[in-house]
Amino acid sequence: MVAAKKTKKTHESINNRLALVMKSGKYTLGYKTVLKSLRSSKGKLIIIANNCPPLRKSEIEYYAMLCKVGVHHYNGNNVDLGTACGKYFRVCCLSIIDPGDSDIIKSMPSDH
Amino acid sequence: MVKFLKPNKAVIVLQGRYAGRKAVIVRSFDEGTRDRPYGHCLVAGTKKYPSKVIRKDSAKKTAKKSRVKCFVKLVNYQHLMPTRYTLDVDLKDVVTADALQTKDKKVAACKATKERFQERFKTGKNRWFFTKLRF
C-alpha cells in the first residue's frame, strides 16, 4: 500500500515537471526524433510509455546506454503520456533536449 | 550526452544490400555534406565473413577459411545500428571519401581493408566483429 501511494505522488510530480518542460523547454516527441536526438547527443532525458513495444524499448535503452543518457519508464501508456504532454495524440517516447525551468533532469535519475 | 558515432565504432548495417553485416565507422559526417544533407558516415564492413577455423585444418585450409570480403560505403546514420563494440583498425589512410569516386579506387580501398581485416582476424582479437550475425 505504501508503495502504491508513493507512486501516485511521484507520478503527479513527473506530470507537473513534464508540463513545465512543455511550456518552457525543448523536447521532441516520437521514436524517430528520439533516436535522432540520441545520435546527435542532444537528448538529456528519454521518457518511454509503458506500452511501448519491447523491441523498440530495448533499442531506445541501448542507444541511451551508449550515450549515457537517462531513461525514465513512464507509469502510463502512450495515451497517458500524450495527455501529460498536453497533446491530443499518443506519444510513445519523448526526448527532453532542454528542460527550461524544470528540474526534471536533476530529480529523475535519482528516482528512475 | 556522449557522442558514440565516432570512428572505430562497430555498427551493424540495417538497410540495403549489406543489411545485417557488421561494419566499422571510418569517418563520420555529422552535419552532412552538400550532396548528402543528413548525418552519414563512411563505413568499411565485411561482405563475406571468414569461416570457422579449427585446429586440425592444414595451413592451406586456414588461409582459405580466413578470407574476408569487404565493402566500403557511405551510409545514413538512420540505417545503422550502433553497438557497444569498437574495432581499432587504422583505416583512415586507406578508406577516404574520394575512394568512392571511381570503381578502381574503390576496389583498391576494399583490397587494403581486406588485408587489415584478415590480419586482425588471424590474431583472434575482436572475435565478435568477425562472427556472422544470426537472424
User: Looking at this protein, which amino acid is placed at residue B66?
Assistant: S
- pLDDT value, residue A4: 53
Contact across the interface for B30 and A40, Cβ inside 8 Å: yes
Asked whether residue B96 is assigned to any structural domain, the reply reads yes
Asked whether residue B123 is assigned to any structural domain, the reply reads yes
- Cα–Cα distance, B133 to B19 (Å, whole number): 10
Q: Which of B2, B4, B12 is the best mutation test for A, with the most CBs of A within 10 A?
A: B4
Asked whether residue B52 is assigned to any structural domain, the reply reads yes
Q: State the DSSP code for A27.
A: E
- Cα–Cα distance, A84 to A16 (Å, whole number): 8
Chain B interface includes A55 (CB < 8 A): no
- pLDDT value, residue A110: 53
C-alpha cell at B11: 555498427
Report chain A's mean pLDDT, rounded to a whole number.
89
- Cα–Cα distance, A14 to B28 (Å, whole number): 37
In this predicted structure, the answer to whether residue A14 has a pLDDT above a threshold of 60 is: yes
Contact across the interface for B78 and A69, Cβ inside 8 Å: no
- pLDDT value, residue A55: 96
Asked whether residue B135 is assigned to any structural domain, the reply reads no
Closest Cα in chain B to A44: B1
Answer for the pair B106, B44: CB distance below 8 angstroms, yes or no. Answer: no
Rg (CA), chain B: 15
In this predicted structure, the answer to whether residue A22 has a pLDDT above a threshold of 90 is: yes
Range of the domain at B55: 7-127
Ranges of residues in chain B whose predicted pLDDT is under 70: none
Task: For chain A, give the percent of residues with pLDDT over 90.
Answer: 75
Q: Tens digits of per-residue pLDDT, A61-83?
A: 999 999 999 999 999 999 999 99
Length of chain B: 135
- Cα–Cα distance, A20 to A13 (Å, whole number): 11
- pLDDT value, residue A5: 55
Asked whether residue B2 is assigned to any structural domain, the reply reads no
- pLDDT value, residue A112: 45
The fold adopted by the segment(s) A26-98 is: 60s Ribosomal Protein L30; Chain: A; (3.30.1330)
- Cα–Cα distance, A96 to B68 (Å, whole number): 43
Domain positions in chain A are 26-98
Residues A22-32, mean pLDDT to the nearest whole number: 95
- Cα–Cα distance, B91 to B117 (Å, whole number): 10
ipTM: 0.89
Residue (of B57, B79, B59) closest to B45 by Cα position: B79
How many domains would you assign to chain B? 1
CATH code for position B75: 2.30.30.770
Q: Are strands B22-29 and B40-48 parallel, antiparallel or unpaired?
A: antiparallel
In this predicted structure, the answer to whether residue A9 has a pLDDT above a threshold of 50 is: yes
Asked whether residue B107 is assigned to any structural domain, the reply reads yes
- Confidence class for position A1, pLDDT limits 50, 70, 90: low
- pLDDT value, residue B55: 85
Q: Tens digits of per-residue pLDDT, A90-102?
A: 999 999 999 988 8
- Cα–Cα distance, A42 to A50 (Å, whole number): 23
Answer for the pair A92, A49: CB distance below 8 angstroms, yes or no. Answer: yes
